[in-house]
């Protein structure tokens, strides 16, 4: 199942990314020579119109091969002969599709798991909440004078309070009750716990809001990691490739399908962000050359740009070999 999950994730994210390039290219009238999922020899191919559609043996990549993408072409519909804004849209479309995929997956998770409300579902036996008189069905209105509008407000008000007790106002059977709960610090959680859990609400509109908000938080986290990578706070040896992703998929699968979907969302956003970095062969590198040409004209030919991107591909493959070697040392060798 781990292999199946990993293959599904790889193929889904690659397909979505290349589909973004393909759809916008077609919409702009650019000639697409081949749309392929996977790398290496083709195990299936079909010519439909001007485009060949193929599935290749190694599910670790894919491409949308457009006329005039890495070489000079006199074809009027070639990518290199299109206006700059159209080329920019085509190049950015793959990452945009991966970003949208991340949002959709996180919305699905938010809806399936539910959104925490301020209504108490369960109260742990012998917990500070039970001793204070809190019961299932209570709606938390206020903690130490701070209004509670959502569950996160409650976590902040109780979890990170420096006081020994918390005065909690709840609504019970239409009446307000004020109780005092002793706060107990939990080292594993890193905050105070009083032994309550919320009623989970499955609301589609709130799930959309939660999915968008979680995507934003995840994006900030990834850019922080990239910053740490460039400043040396995070070592290059900590990067993972396909082997590491399979290992992470295995760990996620042990915890359930929701964790697998979350991992897919994380990888989709990772693919979107990495592809927009201004490095040769990546979409961000191609966008960088597009900007350069706006100021320099044709001083950098399509052929020269193609050669630079080829060097970039070689460097990326070298990096993949390096991280795969590290993954084998970290994840495979210890098994034996």
Cβ-contact 70, 302 below 8 angstroms: yes
* 140 vs 334: CA distance, rounded Å: 49
Asked if 185 and 218 sit in the same domain, the reply is no
pLDDT at 302: 72
- At residue 262, the pLDDT reads 92
Structure tokens at 24: 């916008």
Residue 335 is predicted with a pLDDT of: 63
Tell me, yes or no, whether 84 and 222 share the same domain: yes
Residue 131 is predicted with a pLDDT of 92
Pair 8, 92 in one domain? yes
CA dihedral 89, 94, 98, 104 (to 10 degrees): 60
Q: Which residue has the tokens 């979890």?
A: 159
If DSSP codes are grouped into helix, strand and coil, which group holds residue 161?
coil
At 68 the pLDDT is: 84
The answer to whether residues 79 and 69 touch, using CB atoms and an 8 Å cutoff, is: yes
Task: Identify whether residues 227 and 94 lie together within a single domain.
Answer: yes
Annotated catalytic residues are: 18
| Residues 220 and 98 both lie in one domain | yes
Look at residue 299 in the predicted model and tell me its pLDDT. Answer: 67
Out of 176, 201, 226, a domain closes at 201
Our separate counts of H helices and E strands in the chain read 9, 10
Q: How far apart are the first and last CA of the chain?
A: 21
CATH code assigned at 189: 2.30.42.10
Compute the distance between CA of residue 143 and CA of residue 161 in angstroms, rounded to an integer: 10
Locate 198 and state its tokens.
């919320």
Q: Give 20-83 as a DSSP string.
A: HHHHHHHHTT--EEEEEEEEEEEEEEEEETTEEEEEEEEEEEEEEEETTSSS----TTSGGGS-
d(CA 162, CA 156): 11
Number of domains composing the chain: 2
- Helix, strand, coil share (%) of the chain residues, nearest 5: 55, 25, 20
In this predicted structure, what is the pLDDT of residue 141?
A: 94
Residue pair 181/142 in contact (Cβ under 8 Å)? The answer is no
Phi, psi of 282 (to 5 degrees): -85, 160
Domain residues for the domain of 170 are 115-201
Neighbours of 190 (CB within 10 A): 9
| Among candidate residues 159, 174, 201, the one where a domain is terminated | 201
**155 and 63 share one domain:** no
Whether residues 227 and 159 share a domain: the answer is no
Q: Which of 168, 201, 234 is the last residue of a domain?
A: 201
Task: Kindly state whether residues 127 and 106 are assigned to the same domain.
Answer: no
289 and 329 fall within a common domain? yes
Q: How does pLDDT run across 203-228, given as a tens digit for each residue?
A: 888 899 989 999 999 999 999 988 98
Residues 274 and 164 in one domain: no
Q: Report which secondary-structure segment, H or E, holds 41.
A: strand 32-48
Question: Based on the domain organization, do 108 and 119 belong to the same domain?
Answer: no
Could you tell me if 284 and 235 lie in one domain? yes
- Which residues in the chain show pLDDT less than 70? 298-299, 335-336
By residue count, the chain amounts to: 336
């Amino acid at each position: 199942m781990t292999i199946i999950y990993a293959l599904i994730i790889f193929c889904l994210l690659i397909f979505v990314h290349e589909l973004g390039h393909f759809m916008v290219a077609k919409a702009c009238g650019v000639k697409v020579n081949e749309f392929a999922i996977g790398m290496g020899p083709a195990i299936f191919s079909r010519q439909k119109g001007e485009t060949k559609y193929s599935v290749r043996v190694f599910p670790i990549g894919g491409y949308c091969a457009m006329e005039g993408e890495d070489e000079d072409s006199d074809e009027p519909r070639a990518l290199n002969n299109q206006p700059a804004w159209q080329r920019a849209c085509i190049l950015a479309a793959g990452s945009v599709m991966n970003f949208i995929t991340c949002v959709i997956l996180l919305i699905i998770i938010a809806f399936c798991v539910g959104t925490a409300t301020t209504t108490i579902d369960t109260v742990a036996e012998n917990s500070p909440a039970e001793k204070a008189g809190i019961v299932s069905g209570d709606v938390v209105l206020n903690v130490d004078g701070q209004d509670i509008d959502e569950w996160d407000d409650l976590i902040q008000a109780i979890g990170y309070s420096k006081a020994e007790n918390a005065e909690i106002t709840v609504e019970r059977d239409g009446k307000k009750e004020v109780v005092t709960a002793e706060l107990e610090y939990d080292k594993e959680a890193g905050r105070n716990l009083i032994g309550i859990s919320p009623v989970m609400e499955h609301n589609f509109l709130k799930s959309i809001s939660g999915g968008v908000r979680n995507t934003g938080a995840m994006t900030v986290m990834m850019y922080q990691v990239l910053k740490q990578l460039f400043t040396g706070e995070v070592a290059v040896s900590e990067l993972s490739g396909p082997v590491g992703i399979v290992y992470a998929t295995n760990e996620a699968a042990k915890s359930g399908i929701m964790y697998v979907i979350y991992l897919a969302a994380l990888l989709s956003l990772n693919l979107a962000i990495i592809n927009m970095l201004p490095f040769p062969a990546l979409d961000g590198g191609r966008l960088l050359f597009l900007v350069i040409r706006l100021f320099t004209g044709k001083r950098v030919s399509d052929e020269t740009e193609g050669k630079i991107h080829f060097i970039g591909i070689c460097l990326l493959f070298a990096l993949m070999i390096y991280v795969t070697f590290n993954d084998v040392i970290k994840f495979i060798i210890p098994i034996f």
